[in-house]
A and B are shown apart, each in its own frame.
Chain A
Amino acid sequence: MEDPWMFYFDPNRCIGCHACSIACKQRHDRDPDADDWRTVTHLSRGEYPEFEQLPVSMSCMHCHDAPCETVCPPNAITKREEDGIVTVDRDRCIGCHYCAWACPFGAPTYGDEGLMSKCNMCLGQGPGSGHDQPPKERPEDGGLQPACESSCVGDAIKAGPRSEVLDHASEKAAVRFENDAYGGRVVVEPVDEDAELAAAVRENNTDQAADWLNG
C-alpha cells in the first residue's frame, strides 16, 4: 500500500515516564503485570558521573516487510493492505512464538491465554481485536488516536500514515529513514546528546545495548 500507518519516536523528547505503557494497558484492559505491548527500556552506560541513560519506547512497528507474518505457521498474522497495520487472528494463532523470534522489536507477547497479542494501533481494544476491523482512520476523521500517542507527555510518539509521519519528522530523521535506518520500519529522530549512543541505537547494535542494560 502507498501510505501505510507507522510509528515515529523522538528519544530527545521522551522523558522515560512510561505513560505510554500504562495508557496502552488501560485502553486494552490488560493486566498490570502482563508483558507490555509498548515497552520503555532505559539504555544506560558509563560510570558516575559519566553516566548516560536513554529511554526508548517501543512497540510493534507494523513493519512494511512484517517478518512475523512471513514466519507464522498458521497464517494468523496479516499485514493489512488497507492501512498497513499488522493484526493477529487469534482464531488461527497457535502460540508457537515463531513471530517473537522473527520480530526485530520484541513486540509479540503471550500472556493472554497463551496466544500472541500485540499493538494494533488501537484499531480495536483488547487482544486480537484488530483483526478484521475496518480501515484505520485519522483522529480528525473520527478514528481513535493510539493510546500511547495520546498520552505521550513529551510528545515523542506519533502514529499516522507514512507521509504525515515524515512531514512531522525533522529533515535529518526523514533522510535517515529514506536511507533505510531501522530497515525503514520506524521513523526515529537522531539523538542529540551523544553521537555514539545514537549510532548504536540507530543501528540496533544489540551487543552494545546489552552492555548498557547490564551496565
Chain B
Amino acid sequence: MTDTQQGDDGLGLTRRTVLQASGATAAMASLSGCLSWLDTDDSPVASVAAADTAYGNCWMCHHACGQELAVKDETVIDITGVDGHPRASAGPETEGTLCPKGLAEMEKAHDPDRITEPHIRRDGELEQVSWDEAFEYTAQRLEAFDDEHGAETLLNAASWATTDLHGIIWGNLYGTPERIGRGRHVCFGGPHLTGGLMGVGTDMRFVDYQNSDYIIAWGRNIFESFAGQWEPKGVLEALDNGATLVVVDPQHTPTAQKADTWLPIEPRTDGALALAMGHVIIEEELYDEEFVEEWTHGFDQYRAEVADKTPEWAAEETGLDAEVIREIAIDFAEAAPAAGIALWTGVGQYAESQKASQAVFALNGLVGNIDRPGGLRLWRGPPFSDPFEVRDIDLPNNAEGKVPALRQYEEYEEYPFRHTTGIGHNQVPEMVENGHINGLYCHYDNPLTDGNTEAWMEALDEMDLVITVDAYWNELTRRADIVLPEAIQLEKDTLIDYAPAWSAYHDRTWMTASKAAVPPQGNSKPGFEILKGIADEMGWGDYIPWEDEAEFNEDMLANVEYSFDDIAEQNYVILDEFGYEQWEENGFPTATGKFQFDLDEEGGYAQSIAELDAQYEEIDIHTGPQWLPPGTFGEAPDDEYPLHFYDTRAVFFAFGADQVLDHPRQQYAKKHGLAGEDYEGNYLVMNPSDADERGIETGDMVTVETPAGEGELMAYVSERTRPGFVTAEFGFGSGNSHEEGMNTMIVHDGQTDPISSQVDRHMAAEVRSGGD
C-alpha cells in the first residue's frame, strides 16, 4: 500500500501541480475567515459533549445491544454502545460498543429513502393517504376478505415486532391459524426443531463462553454473525483465559482465523464428523456415564448408530484428517463439561440439516455439558407479566379449532414436515395457487429474501390482500395493497421482549428498554400504534385499551420492582440469579422428561419420519441420530451444475433491510477492495481455481445459473473459499430494498428440508463470465 502511495506516479503529483496549488494559497487564506466550516466554535464535538443523551436497543439485527445516543435538535449526531449492557458488552465493568449495523441505525434514523407516509392501492396504483384513511381502508378490506375468503386464509408473517400484539390481532381477534416465523422456517429450521425436541431448547446456539475451556463454533462465524456483541466479546475473553477454539466451516472466516484448529469441512457433512466424534468418545470411554444413564433417552440406539462411524470413515466423507477428528473428539470430551458447541445457521440451512444437527446435539448429551458451567447454557428470560391478564381482559380466541391448511388438505400430504410445523415458507406460493392462502400481513420481514423467490413474487400478485408494515420500497412493498410505514426502534418507546435471555450475564435475568430518542420520521408510526389503529377500526378497541407501547410495556412489569421509566432511564436492569443444571429440578421439556438422543417418543416427529421413510424406500430413515449424505434430500453438484452455491452473512448486514444504508455497504465494498467500482451490489466469492477455469477475475460481472434461473453479480476471487464452493451475501438484488446485486434466492426452486420445513439455501450451480 505504502509502495504505491510513494511511487513516482502514484498520485499523479508533479512539482508543477504543487506550485500551481501553492499559488492559490494566498487567496484561500484570505477567504478563510468567512468559511464557517473552519470555525472551531461550531465544532460538532463540542455539540456531542453538549447534546442530550438518549438510549436505544439496537433493532438492526434485533438482538437489542444497548445504544447511547447524542441528540441535538431532534437529530442523532453520535452513537455508541452502553457500558455493561448484557448484549453490547462483555459483562459487568466492561465497555459497550456497537457493530457496523448498530452504528448504522443512526443513518437509518435520518435516511431520506424511508417510506414515511401510509399508502393504499386505489385503481391499481399505490397512493399516499392519511393514517385515518389507511386504517379505514384496511378495516374495509379485512372485512371484505373475511366475507369472501375467510379470515383463516390470511397469513400472519410478522417478524421482529417489539411486542407480540400482532399475534393477538391476527390470531385471537381476526381468527387466522396461519402463522409463519423466521427461526423455524427460513433461518435454522433443522436445529430449531431438533434442539426443542432433544431437550436443549430452540435457542441452542450459545455457549457459556466465559466459563468455557473448549468452544466449537460449528458452522458458526461468531466474529461476524452474532446474536448480540456479547458473543464475540465472550469468545475473546475465553481465548484470553486460555480456552481452545475449534471452527468447523467450509469457508475461511474471521472466526477460523482466530481458531486453534480450523476444520475446512466438505459442505453438508457435519453429521459425519459429529457421529465419528461420538464414536471416539464412546470408544475411549470419555462420556459422562452418570448423566447418560440418569438423564438421557435412546443412548443404546445412538451407540449402535455410531459403532461403525470411525474417524477413518468420517475422513472420507468430510475431507478431514482422521487423526484430527480423533483428537478434537478426545479434547472436547476431556474438557467437558466446560466444553460447548455453538451452532446456528451453518448446520441449519441445508436439506439434511435436521439430521445433521441431531448428530451434533447428541454430543452435548454424551459428554454431559448441558447447563453446566462452560457448556451449552439453558438461558432463562425475565418474568414478564401478561398485560391482558394484568388488565383482566377476556380475550377471545377466534382461531380456536381452525386447522392450518398444510395439515388440513390432502394436497400437502407429501410434506412430512406438516407434523412438526404448521407451514413451510417454500410452500406458500402453492397454497396461494390452491386458494388456501389468499392474503398476507407482513411486518418488517421480506419473504422475497428467503427462498422460492420467483414463485413468491407471483403469489404476491395472486393474493387478494397484502398488508405490509415496512420502511423501504421493494418488490414486496410495491406489490402490496396497503403499505404502513413504521417508526424505527430509536423513534419509539420500547421494552424488548424478544428473548432477553442469552447475554454476557450468564447467570442473571435482565431487561432492557428505551424511550424514543427522536420523533418518528415523517408520518411513520410505532408498530404498536399501527396495530391499535387497525384494531380500533375493526371494533376491537376494548381489547386493546393501552394508548401506546410504553403503557402496554408498563403492564409487562407487574412482576418486577421497576417501572418502564426506571428501566428506560438506565437502559437496562440486571435481575435475579439463576443456577446451572436446571434440569435437576425441572427435568427436560421433552416427551420423556430427559435429554433425547432418539426422538421416537415425539409423536409428530415420529410420524414425519415414518412418512419420509416410506417415500425413500432405499434408505432406512429412523428417529435417532443418523448419517444422511449430502444430496439425500437436497441437490448435489453434477456435470451441468458443478458448484455448490450458498448464501452467507457479513457483519455489515442483517437480513435484507440494512443493505440500503451507505455506511455499511461502503465498508463491505472496501473490505473486498471494490469500493472504487460503480457497482454496489453483493459479490460472488470464488476460489481462484474455479475462477481461472472460467476466465473470471475479481471485479468481473458474472452470471450464476441453476436449473431455476439466473442472477448476476460481481466476482470476488479469493482463497478464502473452498474450490467448488461459491458464496454470496444475501439480502441484495431484485426483491430486496437494495436492488443492485443478486438476490441469492432468485435462483432457488423451493428446495426444502422435508423434516423441519427449513428452506434449503444450498444449491448446485454453474457460473459463467459476463452478465446479460
Provide the main secondary structure of the chain B interface. helix
- Give Cα A28–Cα B11 distance, bound, in whole angstroms: 25
| Chain B positions 648 through 682: 1 when the CB is less than 8 Å from some CB of chain A, otherwise 0 | 00011000000000111111001101010000000
Nearest-neighbour CB distance to chain A for B446, whole angstroms, equals: 23
B532 interface contact, C-beta 8 A: no
Can you list, as one digit per residue, whether each of A21-59 has a CB less than 8 Å from chain B (1) or not (0)?
Answer: 111011111001100100111101011110111110000
B38: interface (CB < 8 Å) = yes
Q: Is A84 among interface residues, defined by CB-CB distance under 8 A? A: no
Select which of A124, A151, A204, A206 is within 8 A of B103 by beta carbon.
Answer: A151
Could you say which interface size class chain B belongs to? Answer: 35 or more
Question: Assuming A25-B663, A27-B48, A151-B98, is B652 touching A18 (CB within 8 A)?
Answer: yes
Q: Do A48 and B1 form a contact, CB below 8 Å, given A22-B103, A91-B28, A133-B40?
A: no
> With an 8 A cutoff between CB atoms, is B707 at the interface?
no
Interface residues of B in 54-108 (CB under 8 A from A): 77-81, 90, 94-95, 97-100, 103-104, 106-107
Closest chain-A Cβ to B602's Cβ sits at a distance in Å of 38
Q: From residue 528 to 567 of chain B, which have CB atoms closer than 8 A to chain A?
A: none
Across the interface, which residues of A come within 8 angstroms of B45, CB to CB? 27, 122-125, 129, 144
Q: Which stretch (A100-108, A160-168, A176-184) binds chain B? A: A100-108
Residues of A within 8 A of B32 (CB): 90-91
B40 and A48 form a contact (CB under 8 A): no
B223 interface residue, CB < 8 Å from A? yes
Whether B49 pairs with A29 at a CB distance below 8 angstroms is no
Contact across chains for A49 and B97 when beta carbons are under 8 A apart: no
Q: Are the CB atoms of A13 and B670 closer together than 8 Å?
A: no
Assess whether B615 is interfacial by the CB under 8 Å rule.
Answer: no
A16, A48, A94 pick with most chain B CB within 10 angstroms: A48
Q: Which residues of B in the span 10-53 have a Cβ within 8 Å of any Cβ on A?
A: 11, 13, 17-18, 21-22, 24-25, 28-29, 32, 37-38, 40, 43-49
A147 to B44, CA, bound (A): 13
Chain B residues with Cβ below 8 Å from A123 are 45
The smallest beta-carbon distance between A41 and chain B, in angstroms, is 7
Say yes or no: is A155 at the interface (Cβ < 8 Å to chain B). Answer: yes
On whether the beta carbons of B224 and A126 are closer than 8 Å, the reply is no
Q: How far is the CB of A15 from chain B (nearest CB, A)?
A: 4
> Considering residues A22, A36, A206, A213, which has the most beta carbons from chain B within 10 angstroms of its beta carbon?
A22
B719 touching A47 by the CB < 8 A rule?
Answer: yes
Cβ A128 vs Cβ B652 within 8 A? no
For chain A, residues 50 to 108, give those with C-beta under 8 angstroms from any C-beta of chain B: 51-55, 73-74, 90-92, 94-98, 100-101, 103-104, 106
Interface residue? A2 (CB, 8 A): no
Distance of A20 from chain B, by nearest CB (Å): 10
* A137 nearest CB across to chain B (Å): 10
Given contacts A32-B662, A125-B47, A151-B80, contact A97 B11 (CB under 8 A): yes
Residue of A at shortest CB range from B104?
Answer: A22
Using Cβ atoms and an 8 Å threshold, which residues of chain B touch A91? Answer: 28-29, 32, 38
Query: Are A92 and B25 in contact (CB-based, < 8 A)?
Result: yes
Q: By the criterion CB–CB under 8 Å, are A48 and B81 in contact?
A: no
Contact B236 A155 (CB under 8 A): yes
Taking CB atoms, residues of chain B closer than 8 Å to A96 are: 13, 17-18, 21-22
Q: Which residues of chain B come closer than 8 Å to A47, judged between CB atoms?
A: 719
- Interface of chain A: mostly helix, strand, loop or mixed: loop
Q: How far is the CA of A150 from the CA of B667 in the complex (A)?
A: 18
List, in ascending order, chain A residues with CB within 8 A of B651's CB: 15-18
The complex places the Cα of A215 from the Cα of B719 at a distance, in Å, of 8
By the criterion CB–CB under 8 Å, are B37 and A126 in contact? Answer: yes
Contact (Cβ within 8 A) B721 A132: no
Across the two chains, which residue of chain A brings its CB closest to B13? A97
Asked if A155 and B28 make an inter-chain contact with CB atoms under 8 angstroms apart, the answer reads no
Nearest B-chain residue to A28, judged by Cβ: B44
Residues of chain A within 8 A of B229, CB atoms compared: 153
Please, how many angstroms separate the alpha-carbon atoms of A100 and B4 in the complex?
Answer: 11
A204 to B254, CA, bound (A): 22
Looking at the assembled complex, report how far the CB atom of B20 sits from the nearest CB atom of chain A, in whole angstroms: 9
Instruction: Determine if A53 and B720 form an interchain contact, defined as CB atoms under 8 angstroms apart.
Output: yes
Q: Does B394 contact A (CB under 8 A)?
A: no
B43/A129 in contact, CB under 8 A: yes
A108 to chain B, nearest CB (A): 10
B605 to chain A, nearest CB (A): 36
B2 close to chain A: CB less than 8 A: yes
Interface: A6 (CB within 8 A): no
| Complex: chain A residue closest to B255, CB-CB | A15
Q: A153-B229, A155-B233, A193-B258 are in contact. Are A21 and B667 (CB under 8 A)?
A: yes
Q: How far is the CB of B104 from chain A (nearest CB, A)?
A: 7
**Is there contact, CB below 8 Å, between B670 and A26?**
no
Give every chain A residue within 8 A of B252 (Cβ-Cβ): 48-49, 51-53
- For B718, the chain A residues whose CB sits under 8 A away are 44
Contact partner, A16, options B29, B223, B662, Cβ 8 Å: B223
* B40 x A22 contact (CB < 8 A): no
- Cross-chain contact of A17 among B95, B99, B722 (Cβ < 8 A): B99
Contact B257 A17 (CB under 8 A): no
Contact B80 A150, beta carbon cutoff 8 Å:
yes
Closest CB in chain A relative to B16 CB, distance in Å: 11
B-chain residues with CB within 8 Å of residue A122 when the two chains form the complex: 45
6 A-B pairs with least C-beta separation: A32-B662, A125-B44, A125-B45, A49-B264, A91-B32, A18-B667
Q: Chain B residues in contact with chain A, CB under 8 A?
A: 1-3, 5-6, 11, 13, 17-18, 21-22, 24-25, 28-29, 32, 37-38, 40, 43-49, 77-81, 90, 94-95, 97-100, 103-104, 106-107, 223-224, 229, 232-233, 236, 252, 254, 257-258, 262, 264, 651-652, 662-667, 670-671, 673, 675, 687, 718-723
16 pairs, CB–CB < 8 Å, chain A vs chain B: A15-B651, A25-B663, A40-B670, A40-B671, A47-B719, A51-B719, A53-B720, A94-B18, A103-B5, A122-B45, A123-B45, A125-B46, A144-B49, A150-B97, A154-B232, A155-B233
